[in-house]
Structure 1
Amino acid sequence: MMAERAALYARVSTARQEEEQTVASQIAALHKAAAELGLQVPPQHCYVDEGFSGTRLDRPAFDAMRDAAADGLLNVVLVFAPDRLARNYVHQQVVLEELAARGVRVHFVERPIGEKAEDKLLVQMQGVIAEYERAKIIERTRRGRLHKVRTGQTPPFSRPPYGYRLVTSPDGRQKTVVLHEEEAARVRDMYRWVLEEGLSARAVARRLTAQGVRPRRAARWTGASVRHLLVNPAFTGTAVYNRLMAAVPVRPRKAAALRKVAKSSYLLRPREQWQTWPIPPLVDEATQAAVKLQLARNKVLSSRNVRYSYLLRMLVVCGQCGLRMSCFRRTQSNGRGDYHYYGCSRGPEDSGRAARCKAQYLRAEALDATVWSAVCQWLREPRILVEEVASWQERREGEEASARERARLESTCRNLEEAGGAPGGRLPAGRPAGGRVEGAARATGGCP
């Protein structure tokens, strides 16, 4: 009798769970259950998503597991509990039906399910309860946190802004916001540089980097981080809670990229929903207002090209680094005219990256003319636009499939490295030579 080809899937939702190693306990329980069932789980079929929410289906390891099932490589998948598979009841049923159609059964370790109608009903009820439980936990947590901030029982942030720190009382019940003297001195220097020297946010970030001053979490300062810090109302003595709410980005930088959090953008809540908390002021309101005015003046008078009209301003994306390309003007030395470009030459103070992007500039006149000609042609012949949209959709689906395949290959490589490599260099059982993994490895240049 041929041995069953087994796989395991584990998932944790947050970075905190990753730090607490709760995914390791799931994997240990899954391996123990596999041993009790007499199943062997090869390293390349251990699928783990760390930091991905169960409310969405586009998870790298999860997609890789479904692809392996579609390729006929699996007979059984071990999952700790239904909510690890998906938090949404509808998603659970879609995945379970998909795997069943592939001849793959799902074994839940926490509560094994049989083939009886009562067992299937129990799985469905667990899915509904898990979805309801998640909604209630989110709502209770939100209301509880809001009540504690409103009544002064807890500060409005778990990580205080740069320049502040939290001090816990001896009994551990009360936290107080106090100034971090060293960081507060740097913040005052930033305000002074802007007001007295007229430095822009980018120039402040460049000076901080030159002085060897690092922010708390990032590798280096950027103009955006400095600007966000200088206009923070907390520095005037008023911390604000419930000011922003998470939202799905309308124009994501990389639409085809897999994101751990679907709602990776923010929207401003109505002002009447804000909750304020008094903290020690670092600067007065007049100083911060003057800094805001100076930053706005710097933006108008910036040497960067904002006074010329470009058809594709902030619409061209660099194919090398993925950032949006800026507009540039270069004056000829003989004074005969100017050249206009789209370019990605953002330094560390703009992108937060160590090196500047080396992509070539694009002549604005040539690119604008090409795009405008295409738009005019589409308007004259709508059929061409329909074909272009269909081609774009097909290409995007191909990019998403490639991203999933690459994630699966990287996961397989990590598992093989941890296990010391596959014995004899053989392919997994049931995998034909020259299959999708080898083809994808050739396309992506092998394991990184």
Structure 2
Amino acid sequence: MNALYVRVSTDDQARKGYSLKDQIAACRNHLLAIDHTGIKEYVDDGYSGEYLERPALDKLRNDLQNGIIKIVAIYDPDRLSRNLTNQLIIAEEIEKTGAKITFVTGDYDSSPEGRLFFSMKGAISAYEKSKIRERTSRGRRAKAHQGKIISNAHPFGYDWDKKNSMYVINEEESKTIQFIYHLCIHQGYGSRRISLELARLGIVGKNNRPLSICTVSRILTKEMYYGQHYLFKQRTCKTGQNSREVKDNPPESWIPVIIPAIVTREMWESAQLQIQQNKKLATRNNKHNYLLRGLLHCALCGRSMTAYSRPAKRKNGSDKIYYYYSCISKESNTYTANGTSCQCRRIPVEDLEQAVWQCLVTLATSKDHLQEYIRTNANISYSEQITNLHTRQIKLQKKKNNTLRWYQENLIDSETVERELRNLNKELATIRLDISELTTIQEKTNQLATSPTDLITVKTFAEKRNVLLKLSYRIFAVRLNDSFEFYLEK
């Protein structure tokens, strides 16, 4: 039995016309010309030549091992594989079974000269593929630098302007997005609750199905909805014939593209603050009510403190459950500093909660004790700092727009514009982070304090919890020996 192996990928077919029909005909004629009949076809349709995991190739290799095949005809070495190492592996594997390999485009025998030419042909094929990939990547980046979207990702809220390679606002969907931001910012809803509310109201997405939690989450977190879109934030690497790995690119390699905004920058930033607050206060799987959950910080290292329970076995009777507040770096290696956890000891929940609440009640009834517990610095002008950062941000954004315009007018080359944009994006990212942090601190500082009456009259856990969430103070606690200490910070 003789065999012919043919392969085509979508790229090859479009670029070179390597159709399966033509390859099969050429391989059959080649075998018939050297008086070989009894031909079995092995066809891989739509498989990349970069990897060896292909159904027809696997079947061919099995038949070769079983001694069924005597001669294998292939149109060209790059149909076998575009990787030189893989080509040599398969060629050697075929020869070890006693079979012979023959190519339509050339006769590469087992002589040193033939093997050298075979290797050269494989190296040229691999080089050609790398050049095509590099040209494609360069073309995509050049298009992005012109302020155009490379491909339509079909984001909710936008339609596609194919002529200008740009997103345009879908008026109906944009109303839904603004409603989503309203529910998050003003109602404090998370993605899951928003998704359920939209489904209850009969609001659907592009596929006429209710918006999923993931879709709502993307709408609330993607910068594109306030007009700042980034291309090349990630890259996809093929790890096999049907497997891929997505990796994050460093921020300096991102390419910014301005698109029509559906919400304001201020709305987006407010949504991010609310999302962080929701994460912080999420009950998750807690079976116990923790009064200070999400509000407590370690006075030793500044990290958040987490609440948890620990069972203790007893000789007589059922196990007893102990509840503690503990520095998060002590409970999770992810938050350790250089592999070292915080030295703050665990604090019993009931003792700390009683002490903190009694302190607040005392403060509400007597202002004389205020300075003993509250550490504040009223001399900091957050508004001035934020204004200066915004001014700097506007200047950098103008510089970035000018750089892109100069590139479009061919006044600067692509290497220069990429270098300039990397530096500008880095500085802009730092400024955005600083503004977000200062805004958070300012909001907490300006937040209206709870009235003394609220602290004195509340009785239930829910009422106390509601009062604590309104406080403009941060609560810090630490325990290094048998006793613990805490203080409030404005």
TM-score interval for Structure 1 and Structure 2 normalised by the shorter chain: 0.5 to 0.7
Q: 1:166 aligns with which of 153, 160, 171?
A: 160
- Contact residue 108 and residue 117 of structure 2 kept, 8 A: no
The question of 1:285 aligning with 2:265 is answered yes
Q: Tell me the amino acid that sits aligned with residue 167 of structure 1.
A: D
Counterparts of 2:101 and 2:203, CA distance in 1: 53
Shift of 1:137: 1.7
1:53-132 aligned at under 5 Å gives the runs 53-109=48-104, 111-115=105-109, 117=111, 118-132=113-127
Q: Tell me the amino acid that sits aligned with residue 253 of structure 2.
A: Q
Shift of 1:41: 4.9
- Contact residue 79 and residue 107 of structure 1 kept, 8 A: yes
Aligned residues: 286
Shift of 1:283: 0.8
Shift of 1:142: 1.7
Judging changes above 3 Å, is the alpha-carbon distance between structure 1 residues 54 and 25 closer, same or farther for their aligned structure 2 residues?
A: closer
Q: 1:246 aligns with which of 212, 232, 236?
A: 236
Unaligned runs of 5+ in 2: 289-308, 310-317, 321-490
Shift of 1:78: 4.0
Q: 2:275 aligns with which of 285, 292, 295?
A: 295
Counterparts of 1:123 and 1:220, CA distance in 2: 57
For residues 108-159 of structure 1, what are the alpha-carbon distances to aligned partners after superposition, in whole Å with 9 as ceiling and x for unaligned?
44x143426444333211210111112222222222222232234x324443
Q: Tell me the amino acid that sits aligned with residue 57 of structure 1.
A: L
Give the 3-state SS of the residue equivalent to 1:8 in structure 2.
strand
Residue 474 of structure 2 corresponds to none
Residue 377 of structure 2 corresponds to none
Q: 1:226 aligns with which of 213, 216, 220?
A: 216
1:248-397 aligned at under 5 Å gives the runs 260-262=242-244, 264-269=245-250, 271-305=251-285
Residue 437 of structure 1 corresponds to none
- Contact residue 9 and residue 62 of structure 1 kept, 8 A: no
Give the 3-state SS of the residue equivalent to 1:55 in structure 2.
coil
- Contact residue 157 and residue 171 of structure 2 kept, 8 A: yes
Judging changes above 3 Å, is the alpha-carbon distance between structure 1 residues 239 and 46 closer, same or farther for their aligned structure 2 residues?
A: same
Give the 3-state SS of the residue equivalent to 1:28 in structure 2.
helix
The question of 1:5 aligning with 2:16 is answered no
- Contact residue 243 and residue 274 of structure 1 kept, 8 A: yes
For residues 63-103 of structure 1, what are the alpha-carbon distances to aligned partners after superposition, in whole Å with 9 as ceiling and x for unaligned?
33323322333334444432232222112111111122123
Give the 3-state SS of the residue equivalent to 1:122 in structure 2.
helix
Q: Tell me the amino acid that sits aligned with residue 57 of structure 2.
A: F
Give the 3-state SS of the residue equivalent to 1:95 in structure 2.
helix
Unaligned runs of 5+ in 1: 250-257, 309-328, 330-335, 339-448
For residues 234-267 of structure 1, what are the alpha-carbon distances to aligned partners after superposition, in whole Å with 9 as ceiling and x for unaligned?
1111121222233578xxxxxxxx65244x2221
Shift of 1:306: 7.2
Q: Tell me the amino acid that sits aligned with residue 46 of structure 1.
A: Y
Residue 362 of structure 1 corresponds to none
Shift of 1:60: 4.2
- Contact residue 53 and residue 261 of structure 1 kept, 8 A: no
- Which one has the largest radius of gyration? 2
Residue 149 of structure 2 corresponds to 155
Counterparts of 1:288 and 1:54, CA distance in 2: 45
The question of 1:200 aligning with 2:180 is answered no
Q: Tell me the amino acid that sits aligned with residue 290 of structure 1.
A: S
Shift of 1:25: 6.0
Report the TM-score, using the length of structure 2 for normalisation. 0.50
Q: Tell me the amino acid that sits aligned with residue 243 of structure 1.
A: K
The question of 1:145 aligning with 2:145 is answered no
Counterparts of 2:61 and 2:238, CA distance in 1: 25
For residues 352-377 of structure 1, what are the alpha-carbon distances to aligned partners after superposition, in whole Å with 9 as ceiling and x for unaligned?
xxxxxxxxxxxxxxxxxxxxxxxxxx
Q: Between the two structures, name the one with larger relative contact order (CA 8 Å, sep ≥ 6).
A: 1
Identity, in percent, stands at 25
- RMSD, aligned CA: 3.8
Residue 46 of structure 1 corresponds to 42
Residue 236 of structure 1 corresponds to 226
